[in-house]
Amino acid sequence: MPAMRRSSVSIESMILEPYKSKPMKGAFIMKKTLRMIFLLSAMFCMTSVAMADDEVAEEDKVELTVAADFVSQYYWRGQDLGDFSLQPTLGVAWKGLSLTAWGSVGISDFSDTKEFDLTAAYEIKGFHVGVTDYWFNTPLEKYFKYRNNDTSHVFEANVGYDFGFLSFNWFTNFAGNDGENKDGKRAYSSYMELAAPFSWVGCDWTASVGAVPYATSFYSHATGFAVTHVALKASRDIRITDKFSIPLFAQIAANPSSGKAYFLAGFTLQAF
């Protein structure tokens, strides 16, 4: 998972005033989420078997990710979502398939919104597609609530392609607590982003630009097409010992739509 809620209608206000529409089949979506959790657990069980078999081909091995990011500010898609935060990751990947759990909790301000996301994705030769279930602890703290007008979940589909020198990604909310368009109807809120990685003076850099293609209350200040994210990020591994290093990053970002700028930093602790 997964980035950006201030002066105009924003994600925060959207969460506090959930989208009103015809109820969806909550039980059906709940079964889908439970199935994702079950598959995640099953793949972790498979990991222990795959890691014990030294003769398994490299491309057939199950990869496990256990990590925790510490960030000075939770910034996502041009939006400020919180102060100093802990963001854990737990995921498994096998032959292009991946299941990932990601979360965020405020450390300096415990009133910051808590987040728990589940993502299922598939990648092959630069092309990738996935579905994410975002959950926030507001407006409802209960997790297993899925009706559009009675949920803290947001369901998003994404598709993209990585050319190596440039990547493009498109994200669209298709269910849950989405925002509204100018007519007060479900906006199917979307976000698109271009990112270009490069190396310079011993650091890995990424320049990125993101935009909201049409009006939605899900992204602040998006009354139509709006560039909400322009950023330059640098990262480098800080060697602690011969066998242990800590990835450190710093990022300068701005949201031209809201007229705000951000400067943040963070580091990652990773077991696998």
**Residues 162-180: pLDDT tens digits?**
999 999 999 999 999 999 9
What does the chain look like in DSSP terms, one character per residue? ------SSS-HHHHHHSPPP-----HHHHHHHHHHHHHHHHHHHHHHHHHHH-TTS-GGGSPEEEEEEEEESSEEETTEEEESSEEEEEEEEEETTEEEEEEEEEESS-TTSPPEEEEEEEEEETTEEEEEEEEEESSS---SS-EETTEESEEEEEEEEEE-SS-EEEEEEEEEES--B-TTSSB---EEEEEEEEEEETTEEEEEEEEEE-S--SSSTT-SSSEEEEEEEEEEEEEESSSS-EEEEEEEEEEETTTTEEEEEEEEEEE--
More confidently predicted of 182 and 33: 182
**Domains of the chain, CATH where assigned:** 11-270 (2.40.160.40)
Of the listed ranges 14-28, 106-120, 121-135, 235-249, the one predicted with least confidence: 14-28
Per-residue pLDDT at 24 exceeds 70: no
pLDDT at 56: 54
Q: Could you give the CA distance from residue 15 to residue 178 in angstroms, rounded to a whole number? A: 9
Backbone angles phi and psi of 156, in degrees to 5: -130, 135
What does 206-236 look like in DSSP terms, one character per residue? EEEEEEE-S--SSSTT-SSSEEEEEEEEEEE
pLDDT at 260: 94
More confidently predicted of 24 and 165: 165
Per-residue pLDDT at 14 exceeds 50: no
pLDDT at 39: 57
pLDDT at 112: 85
Measuring CA to CA, which residue among 164, 108, 102 is closest to residue 130? 102
